[in-house]
Structure 1
Amino acid sequence: MISTWIAAAVLIIAAIVLLAVRRRAERDIAVSARGAVITGSTPVASTAAPDAAAALASAESVGSAMIQAGYTVETVQDVLRDIAHVNGLPESEVLVFPNAVLVSARGAGQRETGAVAGAGGQLLLSQIDELQRTADAARTGILDPRSTVERVQRIRQITPSYGPLLRVIAYGLLSAALSVLLGASWAGVSVSAVLGLVVGGGLLVSERVPRRYGALITVAIAFLVAVVVFALIRLGWGSGILGALLGPLVVLLPGALLTTAVLELSTGHMLSGAGRAAAGAMQLVLLGAGIVTAGTVVGVPDFDFSRNPDLLGPIAQWIAVAVFGVAICVHRSAPRRAIPWILLVVYVAYAAQVLAGLVVGGILSAFVGALVVTPVTALVARQPSGPAALVSFTPAFALLVPGALGLVSVADMLGGDSAGTASLVATLATMVAIALGVLAGSSLSNRMRRPAL
């Protein structure tokens, strides 16, 4: 009951704040494009002759960075078509995949065709924020193609705002906070924090390892975490430490990838949607394999992931939401000015899901959470200090995606547990619910888009 009242209060306060900022003027793209990190912009001259080669280079540069950032293929296509149109090439064609972009810049008797593969690795939240500003400026003619390419190159050179040690500590706190939300005991929170430090350090080291070893790293991390947790359970620590099994693996869980796959499949992008779904499923299999192997080594006692809910009390969960929000901002290196906005979005997501869960149940509560959060992120993005919608949505998404449930399902199935099938079906239903929530929320977000310049 206390948690319900807190959730209601959070939504009321958030509504007041959002209504207040709603009255502010539209963000001036020309001003925001000249940020402190990356400077310099050259407007597209309306009288200049179209340059298909330059426009192609601009579209390839922006498109490659956007697919690396995790934008949907439909969003990338819209941006690249706008870039071609504003540069006098309205006949251009764009084909986007999760890891490649094909562009044919055509118009005014010119034709240039090119393809570029998406770079590996994960962009920082600060890089995604600057990328969104650059894409907005390029698609509205504020940046000419050459300036756009230069800015994207500089974005790729942005370094984390926080040092490696602080990012590792943040990951430990992130892991501990998530374990609180999963119903862990104090012992479980402590174990999760320690394992989070180990995993966080390992993830930073793995950024310098060739991608072909990524599968081995994933299995090794899942195995290490599961061995420690299972061993402690067998030593009598109790099921209150189960949250430590999933908390340290939060970054490796492919819930966002799987939900984006469902979103793209539902909007007709079959190739990209199927590709993301296959990649997400393989990531779950790798994580599940690590957990099952650990269970084989040390043995797995009977346990239930739904046991001991609210073990630390309802107040602890709301504190954990704040810790989670700040920690993920530090670990993913979000812009400092964006942290208050990200916390607002994270609290709205969690509060909406808590209240919806009381009325419509767990699966539909994910739909409501996505439905509420999507327009909120769009409104936040319009504020002068607000981050790009994807930047504020990413941390909130970690509280909505069914990655944890999917991981448990795969682990059950690999271990021969038929109950995993029911959990897997619930995972798929939750992914569909989130995707539909995002689609419905996007219809409201479209009304908040800044007018084209």
Structure 2
Amino acid sequence: MAFGGGARASLCALVAASALLLGAPAVGATAATTIAVSPALEPIETVEPEPADETEPPESPLPTPTPTPTGTAEPTGSPEPETSAPTEPPETEEPTPTPTPAEEPTPTPSESPVPTQVPAVPPAAATATTSVWSWIIAAVVLVVAAGILVVARRRSEDEDVAEAAVPAASDAPKTALESAARTAATQAAMEEIGEAMTDAGYSVATVRETLEDVARANNLVGAEIIVFPTALLVSSRGDGPSGTGAVSSGEHDLLLHQVDELQGVVDDARAGIVDPAEIRARIARMRAARPPYSPVQRGAGYVLVSAGLSVLLGASWTGVVFAALLGAAVGTALLAGERLAGRYRALLSVGIAFGVALVVLLGLRLGLDSGVLPALIAPLVVLLPGALLTVGSIELATGQMVSGAGRLAAGAMQLVLLAIGIVAAGALVGIPSLEVAPSSTGLGVVAPWIAVALFGVGIVVYKCANRASLGWILVVLYVAYGAQVLGAVFFGGVLSALIGALVAMPVAVLVARRPHGPSALVSFMPAFWLLVPGALGLVGVASVLGGDAGGSASLITTTATVVGISLGVLAGTAVSSRLGRPVL
């Protein structure tokens, strides 16, 4: 096929341009064609390595796509990723040391909230919930009791003058106790006295002091005495061979009429006016004495104790009825279990607590008001180890570590036993949601003062105090409760027990100086149960065993209450020490 001259010239130009782009001269091209195309291809040779010049040959679109991938792939791929990868990793390690010095100046602003943490605490009188009439009644009761004690004190001073010459007649029997037989008899009498005093609930310091006075009054020189709550060791050294006696004690509790008789024996033995054989005979008669009240009367007395204490704890009328009924049942069970051994008494305590809690919680389940709740504590008042914890605290404060720790451990165990019964009853029937308001009783302002009299009469009958002791016991109870009410106004609820014990102790000692007055322990023991140091602790232990962490606050309050009563007893003993009669 023949081409024209123009077509042939254009074809030769395309071949020459392709040869120049590929770097080889065109075969069969004339010199004229190369010269004619060269001016148009010179700028392409200078811009060959740059990828941007590939866009210039728009006039010939067919050969341009083939050479472009070969020249552009070499410079673009390899050098660019090598420089970026190794430079950036070390820069990440730089921010690690910077945050530590930057946080050092932070403790400076923490000093500012320190003064704001001290809240303003108003006086206890400003926040007291006790009514004004209760203050007035408490003040009147204390004034009347003070007048009675002043009159009794003047009469007792006149009688002490007549009794001052009695110890002079005791010189003769003292000189006759130098033989070995008399030494053995004196040691046996000391063992009987120590065992009886431990059963009565005296502290080991009081028992030891009393036995030392008895040994001194009977010319028993060099006697060594070791007293524990459950054991007594007496070692005597006379003209003959020395002997040591060991007696177990604390296993048989004494009633109040027995404690009163024992105090008379102790006073005579300390003065040295009775024979050792007579001491042992009187103690034996004291232990064998029948109670002045029948079991039915004692059960009725426990009903009064439970009902009166429920009023003092803030019960409603329904709660008082519940407490009286439960008091009858608990009193019957306690009277039936007086002759049980110690291991069975522990089970009896758990069973009584379980039964009382079961009845009260079922009543709350049936929709009764929260005023029934004090009926949970009032029937258990005699089982509460208030006196045990207080005497243990006194012994610890006076250096008797073994006895004090033992009594505190026994008291804590008694609380745990009672709390286990309450927790078991709560787990069986459940505990409903309650809103217990303090002082929610609607019984009136005079009701607590009437309840004190009911409590006093009931405790005298149930614990079998002498009938002549009833009036004096009521005086001590009213003084203790009145002082506690006023102490709660000015010092708060925890220290109110301290004030009550501090005031009641000298009053009990003054009452004991009366010819027909009860011993200090007999008139003061009901005040222990009135102040109820173990009631708060029972609720706290039950709360802790039930999984309530808030019960620990109640345990702390109980500890402070027990310590407060102990300090009050110690202070009251220091005030009345010159009267010469042991109280605890």
Question: Shorter-chain-normalised TM-score: which range?
Answer: over 0.9
- Residue 82 in structure 1 maps to residue 200 in structure 2: no
Aligned to 2:349: 218
- Residue 140 in structure 1 maps to residue 271 in structure 2: yes
The gaps in structure 1 that reach 5 residues or longer are 32-41
Q: CA deviation at 1:109?
A: 4.9
Structure 1 residues 407, 208: CA separation in 2 closer, same or farther (over 3 Å shift)? Answer: same
Quick one: which of 538, 545, 564 aligns to 1:433? Answer: 564
CA distance in 1, matches of 2:432, 2:393: 34
Structure 1 residues 303, 91: CA separation in 2 closer, same or farther (over 3 Å shift)? Answer: farther
Q: CA deviation at 1:308?
A: 4.2
Amino acid at match of 2:385: P
CA distance in 2, matches of 1:29, 1:330: 35
CA distance in 2, matches of 1:306, 1:386: 41
Amino acid at match of 1:206: G
Moved more, 301-310 or 204-213: 301-310
Structure 2 counterpart SS, 1:102: strand
* Residues 125 and 334, structure 1, Cα contact 8 Å, conserved in 2: yes
Q: CA deviation at 1:43?
A: 8.8
Amino acid at match of 1:446: S
CA distance in 2, matches of 1:4, 1:248: 28
Q: CA deviation at 1:108?
A: 3.8
Quick one: which of 144, 149, 168 aligns to 1:13? Answer: 144
Amino acid at match of 2:353: A
- Residue 24 in structure 1 maps to residue 152 in structure 2: no
- Provide Cα deviations, 1:106-157, integer angstroms capped at 9, x if missing partner: 2345522101011523211000000011011011111111110111111100
CA distance in 2, matches of 1:271, 1:70: 16
Q: CA deviation at 1:402?
A: 1.3
CA distance in 2, matches of 1:85, 1:157: 29
Instruction: Report 1:295-314 matches (<5 A).
Output: 295-303=426-434, 307-314=438-445
Instruction: Report 1:60-209 matches (<5 A).
Output: 60-209=191-340
Instruction: Report 1:36-75 matches (<5 A).
Output: 45-50=173-178, 51-75=182-206
- Provide Cα deviations, 1:151-195, integer angstroms capped at 9, x if missing partner: 111110011101000100110111000000000011100010000
Structure 1 residues 304, 163: CA separation in 2 closer, same or farther (over 3 Å shift)? Answer: farther
TM-score with structure 2 setting the length = 0.73
> Which one has the largest radius of gyration?
2
- Provide Cα deviations, 1:208-260, integer angstroms capped at 9, x if missing partner: 22222111100000000000000001101110111110010000000111111
Amino acid at match of 1:248: P
TM-score with structure 1 setting the length = 0.94
Q: CA deviation at 1:307?
A: 3.5
- Residue 408 in structure 1 maps to residue 539 in structure 2: yes
CA distance in 1, matches of 2:436, 2:509: 34
Structure 1 residues 405, 30: CA separation in 2 closer, same or farther (over 3 Å shift)? Answer: farther
Aligned to 1:247: 378
Structure 1 residues 105, 29: CA separation in 2 closer, same or farther (over 3 Å shift)? Answer: farther
* Residues 59 and 80, structure 1, Cα contact 8 Å, conserved in 2: yes
Q: CA deviation at 1:310?
A: 3.9
Amino acid at match of 1:200: G
Instruction: Report 1:194-343 matches (<5 A).
Output: 194-303=325-434, 307-343=438-474
* Residues 371 and 441, structure 2, Cα contact 8 Å, conserved in 1: no
Moved more, 429-438 or 18-27: 18-27
Q: CA deviation at 1:301?
A: 1.6
CA distance in 2, matches of 1:6, 1:310: 18
Quick one: which of 528, 550, 553 aligns to 1:397? Answer: 528
Q: CA deviation at 1:304?
A: 5.7
The gaps in structure 2 that reach 5 residues or longer are 1-131, 164-169
Structure 2 counterpart SS, 1:209: coil
Q: CA deviation at 1:325?
A: 0.4
* Residues 328 and 395, structure 1, Cα contact 8 Å, conserved in 2: yes
Structure 1 residues 246, 30: CA separation in 2 closer, same or farther (over 3 Å shift)? Answer: farther
Structure 1 counterpart SS, 2:150: helix
Moved more, 375-384 or 16-25: 16-25
CA distance in 1, matches of 2:440, 2:221: 56
Aligned to 1:39: none
- Provide Cα deviations, 1:378-422, integer angstroms capped at 9, x if missing partner: 000000111000000000111224110010011001001111111
CA distance in 1, matches of 2:416, 2:528: 21
- Provide Cα deviations, 1:345-369, integer angstroms capped at 9, x if missing partner: 0000000000110000011111111
* Residues 29 and 136, structure 1, Cα contact 8 Å, conserved in 2: no
Amino acid at match of 1:124: L
CA distance in 1, matches of 2:228, 2:256: 22
Aligned to 1:37: none
Q: CA deviation at 1:306?
A: 5.3
Amino acid at match of 2:419: G
* Residues 259 and 434, structure 1, Cα contact 8 Å, conserved in 2: yes
Amino acid at match of 2:173: A
- Residue 350 in structure 1 maps to residue 465 in structure 2: no
Q: CA deviation at 1:448?
A: 2.2
Aligned length: 441
Structure 1 residues 11, 308: CA separation in 2 closer, same or farther (over 3 Å shift)? Answer: closer
* Residues 94 and 103, structure 1, Cα contact 8 Å, conserved in 2: yes
* Residues 381 and 532, structure 2, Cα contact 8 Å, conserved in 1: no
Structure 1 residues 15, 195: CA separation in 2 closer, same or farther (over 3 Å shift)? Answer: same
Q: CA deviation at 1:336?
A: 0.8
* Residues 223 and 294, structure 1, Cα contact 8 Å, conserved in 2: yes
Structure 1 counterpart SS, 2:246: strand
* Residues 44 and 142, structure 1, Cα contact 8 Å, conserved in 2: no
Amino acid at match of 1:434: I
Structure 2 counterpart SS, 1:150: helix
Q: CA deviation at 1:71?
A: 0.3
Structure 2 counterpart SS, 1:107: coil
CA distance in 2, matches of 1:4, 1:436: 24
CA distance in 2, matches of 1:388, 1:230: 40
Q: CA deviation at 1:305?
A: 5.7
- Residue 385 in structure 1 maps to residue 523 in structure 2: no
Structure 2 counterpart SS, 1:251: coil
Amino acid at match of 2:212: R
Amino acid at match of 1:392: S
CA distance in 2, matches of 1:43, 1:58: 19
* Residues 167 and 331, structure 1, Cα contact 8 Å, conserved in 2: yes
- Provide Cα deviations, 1:69-90, integer angstroms capped at 9, x if missing partner: 0000000001111111111113
* Residues 142 and 482, structure 2, Cα contact 8 Å, conserved in 1: yes
Report percent identity of matched pairs: 55
CA distance in 2, matches of 1:43, 1:30: 18
